[in-house]
């Protein structure tokens, strides 16, 4: 009993001390806190932040473009913007132990009443010289001869194409896109399949959404940023 009392006294004192410490520097750090470190009440009422698993990938609560928020990969090797209505399927999420491969499936609630899924497959070893083969692989997966439109920027090439067969179905209307992003300043690629469906009886027709959806996808693809190893370490230091 004596032993227990001693502990309790000590614990009581130390809890006071540690609590005090936290309070003292709590305010200073608030702005730098990652969403995953913030208390639930302080998070925006946006799906991506309300879901605990998805929140752990969110870089900040700041809306960077119309309903788009910054996401950082579990590999630490890329970041991109994702819609606020995104939830990452925890069960689908795969991160290889060396953190050089990541894949997951998300479900997205769009503001216009439609819903989307986004399937991401990232690796850090794909090389630009074989990009044609990678595009063939994307076509094989979609099981159709996608026509890709290429957009270049200084450190990546973006290939985006619409899947034609996907619009033919009986349960609501859907539109699907394939995006392949090849790193130019190092190795690595990201493959994205994106499908939006407008549910039956919904006010919006899919055809009305095409422009919006394509604009959004273009923004997401352009926001994709390969982080090289150096900047990854800098990132860690900042924390």
Partner 1 sequence: MNNEVLFSESLRLRIIELEYKNLDEENFIKEVKRIYLEETGESLELEINYLSSNDAKRLEGDKSGYDGTAIHFYSEKQNIDQIYIISQGSTDRTDWNYNVGSIFAGTRATQSQSIYRFKEEALENFKTDSKSQSTTTIIGLSHSLGHNNNIIAQLSEDVFDKLYGVNGAQPTIYQLFETDINFREALIKRFKINRSDPDSIYGLPPDELKAFGEDYYKDKAQNIHQTLSVDDLLFALAGTRGFVMLGNVEMVDTNPELSGLRDMMDKVPDEIIADFQQLAIQYADASEKGDSDEVIKELTGIDMKLVDKYRDGGVLGFNFVFASNMKETENMIQDVKTKLPELLRLVRHISDNGEIIVNELAANGYISESEKTTLLNEIESVRSNLETILSNEFSVTKIGDIISAASSLSNSPDVFKKILGPLLKEIVHSHSIEEMLNTLGKENGRMYLGNDMIAVGQQDGQEVHVNISEAIRMYQEGQALLEEKRGAIFVIMRTYQNGLVEAFDTEKTKVVTIINDIEHNPQAYSASIFRKYVYSARGQKTVTKIEVHDSLTPLTGISFDPIWEQLTTAIQRTEDFLTSTREAIEQIFQKDEIIASLFNYHFAEGVEESGHRGVY
Q: Can you give the binding site for partner 1, defined by CB under 8 A? A: 3-4, 6-8, 10-11, 14-15, 18, 85, 87, 89-98, 100-101, 103-109, 115-117, 119, 121, 123-127, 130, 133, 137, 140-143, 166, 169-171, 174, 176, 187, 193, 195, 197
Q: Between 143 and 238, whose beta carbon lies closer to partner 1?
A: 143
Q: Are 136 and 158 in contact (CB under 8 A)?
A: no
Min. distance of Cβ 141 from partner 1 in angstroms? 5
Q: Are 26 and 37 in contact (CB under 8 A)?
A: no
Owner of token pair 């006071």: 16
Min. distance of Cβ 148 from partner 1 in angstroms? 16
| DSSP string covering 44-106 | -S-HHHHSHHHHTTB--S---BTTEEEEE-TTSSEEEEEETTEEE-TTT-EE-TTS-EEEEEE
Min. distance of Cβ 9 from partner 1 in angstroms? 9
Min. distance of Cβ 121 from partner 1 in angstroms? 7
Min. distance of Cβ 61 from partner 1 in angstroms? 21
Q: Between 19 and 65, whose beta carbon lies closer to partner 1?
A: 19
Q: Calculate ∠ Cα 89-93-97, nearest 5°.
A: 165
Q: Between 137 and 223, whose beta carbon lies closer to partner 1?
A: 137
Min. distance of Cβ 104 from partner 1 in angstroms? 8
Owner of token pair 């009392």: 5
How far apart CA 38 and CA 26 sit, in angstroms, is 11
How far apart CA 190 and CA 219 sit, in angstroms, is 15
How far apart CA 50 and CA 21 sit, in angstroms, is 28
Q: Between 52 and 62, whose beta carbon lies closer to partner 1?
A: 52
How far apart CA 110 and CA 208 sit, in angstroms, is 14
Q: Between 62 and 74, whose beta carbon lies closer to partner 1?
A: 74
Q: Between 62 and 134, whose beta carbon lies closer to partner 1?
A: 134
DSSP 227: P
């Amino acid at each position: 009993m004596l032993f227990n009392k001693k502990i309790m006294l000590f614990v009581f004192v130390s809890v006071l001390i540690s609590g005090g410490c936290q309070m003292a520097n709590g305010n200073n750090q608030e702005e730098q806190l990652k969403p995953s470190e913030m208390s639930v009440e302080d998070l925006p009422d946006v799906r991506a932040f309300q879901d605990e698993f998805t929140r752990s990938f969110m870089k900040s609560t700041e809306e960077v473009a119309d309903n788009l928020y910054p996401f950082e990969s579990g590999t630490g090797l890329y970041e991109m913007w994702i819609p606020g209505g995104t939830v990452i399927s925890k069960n689908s999420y795969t991160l290889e132990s060396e953190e050089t491969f990541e894949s997951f499936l998300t479900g997205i609630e769009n503001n216009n009443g439609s819903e989307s899924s986004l399937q991401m497959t990232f690796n850090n070893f794909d090389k630009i010289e074989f990009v044609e083969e990678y595009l063939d692989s994307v076509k094989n997966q979609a099981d159709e001869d996608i026509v890709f439109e290429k957009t270049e920027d200084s450190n990546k090439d973006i290939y985006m194409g619409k899947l034609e067969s996907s619009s033919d179905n009986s349960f609501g209307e859907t539109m699907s896109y394939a995006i392949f992003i090849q790193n130019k300043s190092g190795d690595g690629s990201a493959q994205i399949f994106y499908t939006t469906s407008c549910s039956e009886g919904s006010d919006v027709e899919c055809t009305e959404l095409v422009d919006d959806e394509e604009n959004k996808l273009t923004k997401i693809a352009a926001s994709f940023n390969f982080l090289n190893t150096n900047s990854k370490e800098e990132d860690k230091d900042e924390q």
